[in-house]
Amino acid sequence: MSKKVIFTGSAIAIVTPMNEDKSVNYEEFKKLIDFQIENGTDAIVVCGTTGEASTLTHEEHIECIRFVAEYVNKRVPVIAGTGSNCTETAIYLSKEAESAGADAVLLVSPYYNKATQKGLIEHFGRTAEAINIPVILYNIPGRTGVNILPETVKKLCESYENIVAVKDATGNIGWTAKVAQLCGDKIAIYSGDDNAIVPVLSLGGKGVISVLSHVAPMDTHLIVDKFLKGDTKGSLELQLKYLPLVDMLFSEVNPIPVKTACRFMGFKTGPLRNPLCEMEEAHAEALKAEMKRLGII
């Protein structure tokens, strides 16, 4: 039996704008959200990797989720990043996100302590049981040091009704194919890599959780929309058009380049919290040049 899909299309893994004193800039958050929704973005992920969740206090984390959910006001789904390498913390943040009005949560695999597959099943399962909203698993082994095996995804989506999707940032299309083969319509697959949207869609994916959407929201939406409507050629053309920009957006660790790109567009996204730092000048100039070439700025 298939499960309800949270969204189809492009979700932005939105940055957390900061004031110069590195407090959260909620007024600029409004401008970023409106810009995205007005330009075709299908869902908003708040407090993910791109949102610098790892350097927000728990109070800030929950307040950002509450603010975004209230401001979006059901215009599009709001997905809250609530993962942690501590299961009790993931449960706490997920319950708070549900209370704050989030439509779903995004749970990254526990980082640093490198759980076994059994440990991952217990971690995700206990967190899913604690809430009533949908769960998206987030597999990004390059950041966490642990890979959620396709067989583990199968076990989780079959055992927990509200585990409905996975964000695939593995960079391994073979992993994606195995999940699609094992899970079928019990799990929705979203690309977590902007350079692999079309390959993931070709394996039955439902969309992308995107960084590129900050600077090209409508075209990121259209990469998915065109593909799902049968215009695979048009979808591929857009995917390939933006590959050089995607490379620039990941020329340094995310979200350093994308916060810089947003500033080039006139958004007051502000500084990054340490240990993240400002972008190297040469990389910033190359990013600006590519954005100019594409007519974004």
pLDDT tens digit at each of 297 positions of the chain: 567 899 999 999 999 999 999 999 999 999 999 999 999 999 999 999 999 999 999 999 999 999 999 999 999 999 999 999 999 999 999 999 999 999 999 999 999 999 999 999 999 999 999 999 999 999 999 999 999 999 999 999 999 999 999 999 999 999 999 999 999 999 999 999 999 999 999 999 999 999 999 999 999 999 999 999 999 999 999 999 999 999 999 999 999 999 999 999 999 999 999 999 999 999 999 999 999 999 999
- Cα dist. 243→84, 147, 237, 262, 279 in Å? 31, 25, 10, 18, 20
pLDDT value at residue 206: 98
Read off the tokens for 52.
Answer: 């610098």
pLDDT value at residue 3: 78
Instruction: Please state, in angstroms and rounded to a whole number, the distance separating the CA atoms of residues 229 and 149.
Output: 31
pLDDT value at residue 267: 98
pLDDT value at residue 225: 98
pLDDT value at residue 266: 98
Catalytic residues: 138, 167
Q: Which of 94, 90, 170 is nearest to 138 (CA)?
A: 170
pLDDT value at residue 54: 94
pLDDT value at residue 4: 84
Q: CB of 40 within 8 A of CB of 217?
A: yes
Which domains does the chain carry?
A: 9-231 (3.20.20.70)
Buried b (16+ CB within 10 A) or exposed e, 144-176: bebbbbbebbbbbbeebebbbbbbbbbeeeebb
Q: How far apart are the first and last CA of the chain?
A: 46
pLDDT value at residue 154: 98
Task: Give every CB contact of residue 63 below 8 A, 6+ residues apart in sequence.
Answer: 24
Q: Which of 255, 287, 284 is nearest to 272 (CA)?
A: 255
Instruction: Please state, in angstroms and rounded to a whole number, the distance separating the CA atoms of residues 171 and 176.
Output: 9
Instruction: Please state, in angstroms and rounded to a whole number, the distance separating the CA atoms of residues 174 and 72.
Output: 36
pLDDT value at residue 1: 55
Q: How many Cβ atoms sit within 10 Å of the Cβ of residue 112?
A: 8
Q: Which of 153, 167, 131, 143 is nearest to 45 (CA)?
A: 167
